[in-house]
């Protein structure tokens, strides 16, 4: 009977050694890659109870991560929470496969259906494997307009798409040295519409 107990005791010890070796070699207990987004809302934004944040790789847009945040502040009515307090920080853990640059889209959604966009904002940030990085977004009333071919307030350019590397970034900011004219490439496309 002692031999059986001894064998059982060795199996967990061997498993512990294997787990320690895996950790030392970069096993599954890695430091997460986190993009923490500081969010403010301008005066035009209605009270929001629900936010959806989506991060996408600039080089491989099919690589995405999305999270929803709901207000946990109790309200007097009892049927729904109180509005989210701004400013706030939204940390999103992403897969290290995202690479270095990500597009961040943030939408304030109607509580009743969870789909109607009441406010939005977008920016770009770096996602560094195993580290936490920061970004900032100011929500404005309405949905995202970048990529519609019309240069709207807050957009430095709008070339009708949300593609990186063509002179106008996926968040409608000039890309220096990209395309044929860098800063002017996206602005010219928007001006000619």
- Over the stretch 119-172, which tens digit does the pLDDT of each residue have? 999 998 999 989 999 999 999 998 878 888 888 766 788 898 877 788 887 777
Return all residues near 104 (Cβ < 8 A) that are at least 6 apart.
35, 37, 53, 54, 55, 122, 123, 124, 125, 135, 137
What pLDDT does 188 receive?
Answer: 37
User: For residue 140, how many C-alpha atoms fall within 13 Å in the half-sphere facing its CB?
Assistant: 10
Q: What is the pLDDT of residues 39-59, one digit of tens each?
A: 999 999 999 999 999 888 887
Name the class of domain 31-144: mainly beta
Q: What is the pLDDT of residues 1-21, one digit of tens each?
A: 333 222 233 334 443 433 444
What pLDDT does 108 receive?
Answer: 93
Alpha-carbon span 53 to 55, nearest angstrom: 7
Phi/psi at 152 (nearest 5 deg)?
A: -100, 165
What pLDDT does 175 receive?
Answer: 77
CA 82-84-85 angle, to 5 degrees, is 110
The DSSP string of 117-140 is EEEEEEEEEE--TTSEEEEEEEEE
Alpha carbon dihedral 17, 132, 123, 86, in 10-degree steps, equals 120
Phi/psi at 78 (nearest 5 deg)?
A: 80, -10
The DSSP string of 56-87 is EESS-TT-EEEEEEE-----SSSSSPPPPPSS
Q: Find which of 29-33, 75-79, 187-191 is predicted with most confidence, using mean pLDDT.
A: 29-33
What is this structure's pTM? 0.65
| CA–CA distances in Å: residue 187 to residues 56, 119, 121, 149, 175 | 24, 25, 20, 10, 11
Give the DSSP H or E segment for 12.
helix 2-24
Structure token digits, residue 108: 């304030």
**Are the C-beta atoms of residues 109 and 118 closer than 8 Å to each other?**
yes
Name the residue ranges covered by the structural domains of the chain. Answer: 1-29, 31-144, 146-193
């Amino acid at each position: 009977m002692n031999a059986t107990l001894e064998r059982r005791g060795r199996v967990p010890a061997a498993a512990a050694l294997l787990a320690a070796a895996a950790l030392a070699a970069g096993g599954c207990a890695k430091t997460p890659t986190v993009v923490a987004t500081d969010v403010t809302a301008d005066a035009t934004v209605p009270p929001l109870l629900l936010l959806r944040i989506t991060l996408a790789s600039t080089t491989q847009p099919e690589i995405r991560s999305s999270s929803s945040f709901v207000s946990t502040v109790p309200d007097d009515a009892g049927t729904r929470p109180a509005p989210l307090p701004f400013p706030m920080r939204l940390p999103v853990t992403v897969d290290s496969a995202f690479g270095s640059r990500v597009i961040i889209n943030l939408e304030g959604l109607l509580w009743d259906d969870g789909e109607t966009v009441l406010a939005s904002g977008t920016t770009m940030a770096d996602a560094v494997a195993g580290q936490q990085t920061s970004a900032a977004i100011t929500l404005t009333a309405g949905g995202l307009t970048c990529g519609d071919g019309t240069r709207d307030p807050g957009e430095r350019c709008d070339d009708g798409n949300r593609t990186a590397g063509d002179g106008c970034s996926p968040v409608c900011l000039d890309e220096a040295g990209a395309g044929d004219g860098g800063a002017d490439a996206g602005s010219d496309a928007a001006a000619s519409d």
